[in-house]
């Protein structure tokens, strides 16, 4: 049994990480301020303790760290909406940069033996051409969100705590609630099941690299016990690209409503045209590979939304 402290553990990705680790009888302390997370995402048990807290409050952070004495920290708490980052870069930086400084400082003080940071493909910043991106020195974030997440990576890199950085692709699945104009699959689902407005930017031919949330949770768990290197950076995604239109067709087929009328709008200036991520390093060094196909993942997501 290992003691894990998980920031943002009541959120979309975090709650699936908690599910996985709790099922293996690890002891978990979850810190979440419920800005996007929900307590109902978690099954509280003898193995899972949930506390309300904001990582920008260092006194609160160090109190929980000192009392719980975690062996491993999984840092998922973040301001994740690109639109929010553009409108209020101060708020974005206060969570994504100042917040992680607090968590790293507390981790060092209690001698955490592994720090896993959840980053994003937004650090690459390529919005025009199809680029297979790897964990190499090629960075050009083109919005405040990508900048703040990359800056946080740099703070992780200079710590002397053993650490792993995971750059996530387009994660989707149950419990995902759209944040602003992010998360295209969740936005489709909310439109389809709740009737919320939804417009496809551009012609829908732009491609994304999608990854189902339980595959991400598995990668995070493996990163906590990584032994190949001390501080590697891995892309965690499907390693394939699918157009937005192809996702629409798949959703129509699963819901048996082929020919559904979708609304198209102008392409946003910050909209990426194509994105595919090279996951070979994670496959080799973490012994990880995505298991859930896009069709299976969409079906599971539809089942969750239908309930």
For residue 265, the model assigns a pLDDT of 81
pLDDT bin (cut points 50, 70, 90) of residue 180 is low
Alpha-carbon span 124 to 135, nearest angstrom: 10
> Do 69 and 5 meet the contact criterion of CB atoms below 8 Å apart?
no
Ramachandran class of 180: left when φ > 0, alpha when ψ lies in -120 to 50, beta otherwise: left
Burial of 162 (0-12, 13-18, 19+ CB in 10 A): middle
For residue 192, the model assigns a pLDDT of 85
Q: What is the DSSP string of 222-259?
A: HHHT--S-SS-EEEES-S--EEHHHHHHHHHHHHT-TT
For residue 129, the model assigns a pLDDT of 44
Name the more confident of 254 and 128: 254
Query: Is residue 15's pLDDT more than 60?
Result: yes
The reply to whether 145 belongs to the active site is yes
- Point out the catalytic residue in the list 145, 172, 212, 234: 145
> Do 12 and 40 meet the contact criterion of CB atoms below 8 Å apart?
no
Half-sphere exposure at residue 157, Cβ-oriented, CA atoms within 13 angstroms: 11
Alpha-carbon span 100 to 156, nearest angstrom: 8
> Do 75 and 116 meet the contact criterion of CB atoms below 8 Å apart?
yes
Beta strands in 81-158 (DSSP E): 114-120, 132-133
> Do 165 and 224 meet the contact criterion of CB atoms below 8 Å apart?
no
Distances (CA, A) of 145 to 183, 235, 303: 14, 18, 31
Residue-wise pLDDT for 243-302, tens only, equals 999 999 999 899 888 878 888 887 776 667 788 888 988 999 999 999 999 999 999 999
Give how far the C-alpha of residue 142 lies from the chain's centroid of Cα atoms, to the nearest Å: 19
């Amino acid at each position: 049994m290992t003691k894990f402290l998980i920031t943002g553990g009541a959120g979309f990705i975090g709650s699936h990480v908690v599910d996985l680790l709790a099922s293996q009888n690890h002891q978990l302390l979850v810190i979440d301020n419920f800005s996007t997370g929900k307590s109902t995402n978690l099954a509280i048990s003898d193995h899972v303790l949930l506390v309300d807290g904001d990582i920008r409050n260092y006194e609160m952070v160090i109190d929980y760290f000192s009392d719980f004495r975690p062996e491993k920290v999984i840092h998922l708490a973040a301001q994740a909406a690109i639109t929010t980052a553009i409108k209020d870069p101060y708020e974005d930086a206060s969570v994504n940069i100042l917040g992680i400084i607090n968590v790293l400082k507390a981790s060092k003080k209690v001698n955490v033996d592994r720090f896993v940071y959840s980053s994003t493909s937004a650090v690459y910043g390529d919005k025009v051409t199809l680029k297979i991106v790897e964990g190499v020195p090629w960075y050009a974030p083109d919005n405040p969100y990508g900048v703040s997440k990359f800056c946080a990576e740099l703070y992780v890199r200079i710590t002397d705590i053993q650490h792993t950085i995971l750059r996530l692709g387009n994660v989707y699945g149950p419990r995902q609630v759209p944040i602003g104009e992010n998360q295209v699959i969740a936005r489709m689902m909310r439109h389809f099941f709740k009737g919320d407005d939804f417009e496809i930017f551009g012609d829908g031919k732009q491609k994304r690299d999608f990854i189902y949330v339980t595959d991400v949770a598995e990668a995070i768990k493996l990163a906590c016990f990584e032994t190949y290197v001390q501080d590697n950076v891995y892309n965690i995604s499907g390693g394939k690209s699918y157009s937005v239109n192809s996702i629409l067709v798949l959703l129509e087929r699963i819901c048996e409503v082929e020919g559904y009328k979708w609304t198209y709008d102008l392409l946003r200036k910050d909209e990426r045209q194509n994105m595919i991520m090279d996951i070979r390093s994670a496959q080799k060094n973490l012994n990880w590979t995505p298991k859930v196909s896009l069709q299976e993942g969409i079906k599971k997501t539809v089942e969750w939304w239908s309930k």
